[in-house]
Structure 1
Amino acid sequence: MTTSSLSHDGAQWLGIEAVAYELPGAPVDIESWAAERGYPARRAAAIAQSGSRYFHMALDTSETDLAIDAVGRLIDTARVRPGEIGAIVHVHTQAFSVPPAPRSLPHEVAAHFGIEPLWLGSVAQLNCVSVASGLETVDALMRRFPQLDAAVIVSSDRVYGEDFRMRQMSGVQCDGAAAMLVTRNCTKNRLGRIAIRSHAKWYGGSDTVADNEADLIALEWPYTRKAIEAAVAFEDVALEDYDLLLPHNADLPGWNSLCRAMRLPQERLYAANIYSRGHACCSDFPINMADVGLDALASGQRVLGVMQSNCGAYAAVTLHPVARHAN
């Protein structure tokens, strides 16, 4: 496990200035979708009972177009000029959620908006936890380049073939993209600690090594808890003082059990997007930040974001209102 302290030494810190996302089309009900396509009704019902009912489909939209739409919304929302964006960090889960070589998703995003960054590239090895690694990448870049004051983390994933949308019994994959503007000395909030825990046995993906889904769950929640405990342990803030928990958007019963085990009031778990959005891979964290996280921080609450993957990686990140942050 690695634990990172993002740049904040009293004189410098990082924060999430703004977030935007793109979820294509109208929400789709999983049981109606399964019935229309002849997929197993029992499996669709089990996923709905796990808390995941709605998702979005991008049947005719590429992952690059989704990313461009999300970044465009971010630029409009944050009122940031493209010339102010000094880095683009692209994160994704699915190996095929990128255009074929020699094309480059972050390069095409930059070219579309006339952004000329000091650095651009992709992070993908940790699947849905890659967004946490993306935050670490921005931190490292800002340490390296003192002239870099603003970076965009863009995430984009979609299913290739509807047969693969119901990969698990605890959630449904949603097509979508998101973009976060991370700034130096943000006046809205501060990023605190990131803890990433990785279990090597699952490096090839749980689908390739698990005998059944119970094998994955046996590891999933203990390692999720360890990542949360590690991120919190390096702060001067107790777990019970975090006001909002932003989850990976799947498996509501699992999250409820984790809250009980960690003695966190379940009303602090933001569960609405598990039901209404589906699991948008790396975009879950920014989507939840856009919907409730930034407002919670603006109102003085502390936020804990949690990420899970199917390749044995788990992460947690702490976020604080600027006025309440413990140096």
Structure 2
Amino acid sequence: MTALEAVGVYVPSGRTPIEDLAEHFGLTAMQVRVFRRYHGLGEVSRDPGGLLDLLRGAVADLGSLKGREDRVRYVVHARTFPVVVPYPRNPLRDLCREFGLEQAATFAVGHHACASGLLAVDVVGRLLAADADPEALGLVVAGEKAFTGQAQLVPETSFFGEGAAACLVRAHGEHDRLLAYDAQLRGEFDDDSPETAARFQREYAHCLAAAIRTAVERSGLDMTQIRLILPHSVNRVAWQRVCRKLGFPLERVLLDNVGSIGHLFCADGLVNYRTAADRGLLQPGDRYVMAAAGAGLGAAFAAMVFEH
């Protein structure tokens, strides 16, 4: 059973208030107030370095990796966007050279947009199980630079921040065991028309709630047995709607990072996991959900159920 061995996080100290981004995107004062008061967004994290600096910071935070580098079979970058640096740069291979992981197979997963972080954990867990080496590890890294307009703002929804997360994955483990995973792909949203965008907004909460409910049911549990939801940090009102669909208390969705760092692409779930763990919000035996949605070539709605 796939398990998370350790989670590392890097969130830079730099912050940019959303008001400072308004002029660049042509946002009115009223739109900014809606983002801040209604969606719960206040500022986003920014780092002066490049993508390698973000990923390096997250992997350096994995203390349990040191001395076990030779056990890492796979290093996978979970991406929202298919292209994250100019060709021919390859920060993932540079990262492996820095941390003594050159023997690992490396690739990127980006098919589910912002839900690709969950997909990457599932893929690595399956690969490790097929290898039949109980000591083998996989390393999933997530995080991107907000380097274009599309990578900085989700219109009327959220702002992207900069930061990164990394997790060591095992095929089997004693803690943070993956109990179930569900990913629901909706190809009908592969359309840039205003009508399709409006439909996506209308159906978003229903679709994400359905993925969460399905994953919880597959784990043999019900929502009353879920201690916490670790969300993708898109905005507060989106999770209010999802919680209404689920009949789940909003106060048990960890939204603390929404207003202070923004939406960190595929890294939100792992960043929120560390926040929960550091604050003692998860106790041994607690079951929790990581959930995310991504839009690009269609849409993906995904959820994983873990036991801490």
- Flag whether TM exceeds 0.5 (same fold): yes
For 2:100, the equivalent position in structure 1 comes to 114
For residue 177 of structure 1, report the CA deviation from its aligned partner.
1.5
Match of 1:306 among 291, 298, 301: 291
Farther-moved stretch of structure 1 (108-117 vs 244-253): 108-117
For residue 210 of structure 1, report the CA deviation from its aligned partner.
3.7
Q: Matched residue of 1:142: which SS?
A: helix
For residue 42 of structure 1, report the CA deviation from its aligned partner.
2.7
**Residues in 1 aligned to 2:197 and 2:41: alpha-carbon distance in whole angstroms:** 17
For residue 72 of structure 1, report the CA deviation from its aligned partner.
1.5
Q: Matched residue of 1:174: which SS?
A: coil
For residue 197 of structure 1, report the CA deviation from its aligned partner.
0.5
For 1:4, the equivalent position in structure 2 comes to none
> Does structure 1 residue 51 correspond to structure 2 residue 24?
no
Q: Matched residue of 1:86: which SS?
A: strand
Partners of 2:240 and 2:250 within 8 A in 1: yes
Pick closer, same or farther for the CA change 1:222–1:272 going to 2, 3 Å: same
For 2:76, the equivalent position in structure 1 comes to 89
Identity across the alignment (%): 22
Match of 1:240 among 220, 224, 248: 224
- The unaligned stretches of length 5 or more in structure 2 are none
> Does structure 1 residue 191 correspond to structure 2 residue 175?
no
**Counterpart amino acid of 2:213?**
E
**Residues in 1 aligned to 2:155 and 2:35: alpha-carbon distance in whole angstroms:** 8
For residue 32 of structure 1, report the CA deviation from its aligned partner.
4.4
Under a length normalisation based on structure 2, what TM-score does the superposition of the two structures give? 0.89
For residue 99 of structure 1, report the CA deviation from its aligned partner.
4.3
Match of 1:19 among 7, 19, 43: 7
**Residues in 2 aligned to 1:210 and 1:302: alpha-carbon distance in whole angstroms:** 39
Q: Matched residue of 1:309: which SS?
A: strand
For 1:168, the equivalent position in structure 2 comes to 155
Partners of 2:5 and 2:175 within 8 A in 1: yes
For 1:252, the equivalent position in structure 2 comes to 236
> Does structure 1 residue 139 correspond to structure 2 residue 125?
yes
- The unaligned stretches of length 5 or more in structure 1 are 1-12, 322-327
Q: Matched residue of 2:254: which SS?
A: coil
Partners of 1:189 and 1:298 within 8 A in 2: no
**Residues in 1 aligned to 2:153 and 2:137: alpha-carbon distance in whole angstroms:** 37
Pick closer, same or farther for the CA change 1:174–1:320 going to 2, 3 Å: same
Pick closer, same or farther for the CA change 1:181–1:14 going to 2, 3 Å: same
Partners of 2:69 and 2:100 within 8 A in 1: yes
Q: Matched residue of 2:221: which SS?
A: coil
**Residues in 2 aligned to 1:80 and 1:308: alpha-carbon distance in whole angstroms:** 35
Partners of 1:189 and 1:297 within 8 A in 2: no
For residue 81 of structure 1, report the CA deviation from its aligned partner.
3.2
Pick closer, same or farther for the CA change 1:282–1:36 going to 2, 3 Å: closer
Farther-moved stretch of structure 1 (148-157 vs 242-251): 148-157
Q: Matched residue of 1:310: which SS?
A: strand
> Does structure 1 residue 126 correspond to structure 2 residue 112?
yes
Partners of 2:125 and 2:171 within 8 A in 1: no
**Residues in 2 aligned to 1:84 and 1:45: alpha-carbon distance in whole angstroms:** 50
Pick closer, same or farther for the CA change 1:258–1:36 going to 2, 3 Å: closer
Deviations 1:16-41 (A, max 9, x none): 12112222232322124536997533
